[in-house]
């Protein structure tokens, strides 16, 4: 059995759902715009699936980093960049708590 961390599993789920939603939307667009054949019951089902997928994606935090919109894959920040942001955060929290205790 292969184990992966929860963040990776959620990214995979979000990407898979986004791809499925985009595929269904392309089928609808191709049918409506180009007149491509689509089984009559697939049109309302696809719309319902898209609505459900969007609801689930919202629960997972939305599309994964807007990759579809930007066309650029998300890149994790380096450890140095992450450490700097974390240090700045704690400095800010420390300042606020010092001001509150005065």
Instruction: Report which DSSP code applies to 63.
Output: S
Confidence of residue 61 (pLDDT cuts 50, 70, 90): confident
Instruction: Report which DSSP code applies to 35.
Output: -
- Report the alpha-carbon distance of residue 42 to residue 83 in Å, rounded: 49
Confidence (pTM)? 0.59
Indicate whether 52 pLDDT > 80: yes
Give per-residue pLDDT as tens, 10-49.
Answer: 888 888 898 899 999 999 999 999 999 999 999 999 999 9
Give per-residue pLDDT as tens, 63-86.
Answer: 655 555 555 544 555 666 666 766
């Amino acid at each position: 059995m292969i184990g992966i961390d929860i963040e990776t599993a959620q990214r995979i789920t979000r990407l898979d759902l986004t791809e499925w939603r985009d595929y269904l939307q392309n089928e609808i667009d191709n049918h409506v715009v180009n007149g491509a054949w689509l089984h009559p019951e697939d049109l309302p089902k696809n719309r319902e699936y898209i609505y459900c997928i969007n609801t689930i994606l919202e629960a997972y935090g939305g599309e994964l980093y807007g990759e579809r919109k930007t066309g650029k894959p998300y890149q994790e920040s380096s450890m140095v960049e992450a450490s700097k942001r974390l240090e700045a955060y704690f400095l800010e929290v420390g300042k606020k708590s010092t001001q509150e205790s005065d």
